Chain A
Amino acid sequence: MTLDGVLAGVLDGLLAALVLAAAGWTLAAPAAFPATIGFVGFGLLLTLAWVRLGAPDVALTEAAIGTGATGVILLLAVVRLRGGEEEVSAATPGRALVLAAGLLAGAVGLALALAVLALPDPAPGLAAEAAARTAPLGLGNPVAAVLMVFRGLDTLLESVVLVFTVLAVWSMAPDRHWGGRPGPEFPRQDDGPLALLARLLPPVGLVIGIYIAWVGTDAPGGKFQGGTILAAMWVVAWAAGLVQAPSVADRRVRLMLVAGPLVFVLVGLAGFGIADGFLAYPPALAKPLILVIEAAMTLSVAAALALLIAGPPEHPPERVT
């Protein structure tokens, strides 16, 4: 083994140990807040592991959605879910149950480890085929080709799931809040660090978000990663009180939410006429059509993530005067 190989092995081993340590802390932390912080740290370390696994697209998604957006939602929930310590300790299982759970979880983990090591070598897969069929489409990133072309139906259903989840979250509100604005309302900050950040960051963030969504077809990036950054910019401005969440009854917001999946469906159906069928693209038009879908999708992903972070409406609608 070369020196590079040994160094890489040491680096990977160290990274794996850190990932597991952060996961252990997330479980063992004395309270929900440090546990959630541990989870965010875990996610960032995992992002590095994804880079080491040769998956920069996944690393970006893990950082943006798996760690960033998920972390924000969990932290907001921790703050609002205070108390209940007695209830929690009363419901904590006894020693015997913990032991049984440990044995079960350990057995599953061990079986899985053995199974992974027993997977066939050379590994079967679609790497060569996916790579070979990406270039003729005019795309440079095979992951984007899988997401938008070969397995486009996965992505379409997933974007529908995202939009649907926004509606599901809204529907948890009490009846009287319907038509109100999602989430808590933050006081407007005119000076202080947050106000400064909320004015300086969004212009830069918007450019970066759009850039990452735009390069996705040729380089690591794409609608989910770029859309998350756009959503984050809105959340910063929202938390500083500079913008208000739109009412759940606002048709423009709903249109923005469904734009991505709806454009995807329409282009897909157009495939019956202009190409070989549903979700097929004519070779010459493949890239422009995909970019149109990606643009609409970026908008929808950004809106959906921002609104999922905000949550259900928490106040009755304001009276129109």
Chain B
Amino acid sequence: MSPATPGGSLLVLALILPVAAMLVAFVLGGRAAERLALAALGLGALLAMLVAAAVYRAGAPLAYAVGGWAPPLGLALRADGVTAAMLLTAALVLLAVALFGRTGHATPPGLAEARAPFAFWCFLLALSAALAAAFLGGDLFNLFVALEMLTFAALALACLEGKPSQFRSELRYLLFALIGSVLYLLGTVLLYGGYGTLDIALLAGRARADAPTLLAAALMTAGLAAKMALFPLHLWLPPAHAGAPPAASAVLSGLVVKASFVLLLRLWFWVMPPLAAAAAAPLLAALGAAAILAGSLVALRQARLKLLVAYSTVAQIGYLFLMFPLALAGDAEVAARAWLGGILQASSHAFAKAAMFLAAGLIAGALGHDRIAALGGAGRAVPVCVVAFGLAGLSLMGIPPSGGFTAKWLLLTSAVATGQWWWALVIVGGGVLTGGYVYRVLAGSLTAPPVTDAPIGDAPLPAAASRGPQLVALALALVSVGLGLLPLASFGLVQVGRLGAAP
């Protein structure tokens, strides 16, 4: 692989733009931070589109050797189909969350700078930088630094409201994430000891299935699984994500866990030899299947809307792991379908889950609570939110036409085609359970508001939320659905640079 390809400078810009914007926003502070963040995230979305277009046009991964030093001594930035797709997803979701945040996180009039709004805009930029580094990084140690930055930014964003119950769940999240990072780092040291490089592309040709390498892969997988809350390491996620402010939950559930997922793909589809990967894949998928069923069942029994949405994340992350045995199956065409299914699931879930958390936040804001049993009247107070929640739900369930449907359909047909029909059963079962919990919310929201002549004022009239944030939630839900309307051929981008795929 050549150290630098045409268009490689785009990768540098996609990484450095949010980094520089964060630094400058920190110094300027106040309202300038907000304006700068909006501009940088908008520009970031544009850059992500340019990167995707360049990858698509080239039909091959873009690469950039930082400082002109080619790996193994230097560091490379790379963008293949997965990078491009996830970079674009992240940029669009972050931009949407920023637009959503303009109402809730504006500096109050009369103040030059207030803690929460100022921090919110800087944290969004830091998240954007960390996600770009995590998607573009070509070196396993550089990716460790990116993952840590992502963890810190996510933690700080989740603690923004300073609610008493929050610090405990976020501290548990931080400890899980830190253990995950250290286990990941432990794997990298074994790999460096074995091969003298941590560059993913170079390792891809060299890795053997010997004891240190297999232990490295096991440790890194365990660490990344803890970071993305794969069953049975999922218990930290629901309280940590549900308690955060809506804009933070959206980013945490939709995007942050996906960075670890992309790393896991790099590990098993690039670094590890195919035979070892094929042996590990059923185990990963089994944990994913358990996550789908357990997460969905627990989500069904939740009394609170935001916790329900968070448990739904545990379940939806499970689907991502089903792609491992399917995309490693022998048949190239089936493997390509399963690969696309997995990436599409990662992307459509990001849009759908962000939409759900934003909508859930607005519903809770309008009703003054988020008890599912008492959602009556939400449909009248914030109709757009309820529609957004429903549309996002369709995508999570896998009802056509939606991005979630296409993703799950691709995974399901690959499962049948490779004779692994049991995964197909899990996909269908998970969809039915998802339907169950989405229905609970929608049915509750569409009933009449509770009788208001109750003597005590514990059921105040739902207050209407402003339109802007509602429309943002709807737009995210529409993108999630819209991904399912595109013809399959237009997803050729996702296959670029996949090892074993026809160039």
Q: Which residues of A contact B (CB under 8 A)?
A: 108, 111-112, 114-116, 118-120, 123-126, 129-130, 133, 149-154, 156-158, 160-161, 163-165, 167-168, 170-175, 177-179, 249, 251, 254-255, 257-258, 261-262, 265, 268-269, 271-272, 275-281
Contacts and interface: CB of A to CB of B under 8 A. Distances in A.
Contacts of B215: 111-112, 115
Contacts of B160: 171
B443 to A, nearest CB: 38
Contacts of B16: 265, 268-269, 278
B126 interface: yes
A167 B122 contact: yes
B9 A278 contact: yes
B162 A119 contact: no
9 contacts: A119-B190, A123-B193, A124-B194, A126-B72, A164-B122, A164-B152, A172-B159, A251-B29, A277-B12
Contacts of B22: 160, 164
Interface in B97-130: 112-116, 119, 122-123, 126, 129
Interface stretch (B80-88, B139-147, B481-489): B139-147
A164 B149 contact: yes
A interface secondary structure, majority: helix
Given A115-B190, A130-B73, A265 B20 contact: yes
Contacts of A269: 16
Contacts of B186: 112
A251 B142 CA distance: 31
B142 A114 contact: no
A124 B148 contact: no
Chain B contact patch, size range: 35 or more
B19 A251 contact: no
A118 B215 CA distance: 11
Nearest to B215: A115
A161 B68 contact: no
Contacts of A257: 26
B173 interface: no
Contact of B66 (A118, A160, A179, A278): A278
Interface of B: 4, 9, 12, 16, 19-20, 22-24, 26-27, 29, 64, 66-69, 72-75, 112-116, 119, 122-123, 126, 129, 133, 141-142, 145-146, 148-149, 152-153, 155-156, 159-160, 162, 186, 190, 192-197, 210-212, 215-216, 219
B195 to A, nearest CB: 6
A119 B193 contact: yes
B212 A118 contact: yes
A254 B196 contact: no
Contacts of B192: 125
Contacts of A115: 190, 211-212, 215-216
**Which of A116, A133, A150, A153 has the most B CB atoms < 10 Å from its CB?**
A153
A112 B123 CA distance: 37
B113 A178 contact: yes
B162 A174 contact: yes
Contacts of B146: 157
Given A114-B211, A118-B211, A278-B64, 10 more contacts: A124-B196, A149-B69, A157-B146, A160-B19, A160-B126, A265-B16, A276-B67, A277-B12, A278-B16, A279-B67
